[in-house]
Amino acid sequence: MCLAIPGKIIEILNDDPLMRSGKVSFSGIIKEINLAFTPEAEVGHYVIAHAGFAISTLDEKAAEEILMIFE
């Protein structure tokens, strides 16, 4: 239920604060995602999306760090 997956923003569609949305690619599957909770997210960023909403912008440095430790 709390499944949320990372996808890459390929286009910002609407910059109204409440309706802010973008096209997000989940490995090629493109969905329109509401970006109202991630005003900092821009084209090229990855967001974690749940129920049609981005709930965070993925921190790429933190993402790499955890992988390096267990190499």
Token reading at 32: 């329109």
The nearest distance, CB 15 to another protein, in angstroms, is 15
As a whole number of angstroms, the distance between CA 12 and CA 35 comes to: 9
Binding residues for another protein (CB under 8 A): 1-6, 8, 18-19, 26-27, 34, 36-39, 46, 48, 50-53, 55-56, 58-60, 62-63, 65-67, 69-71
Minimum distance from residue 46 beta carbon to another protein (Å): 6
How far is C-alpha 49 from the chain's CA centre? 6
C-beta of 13 vs 63, nearer to another protein:
63
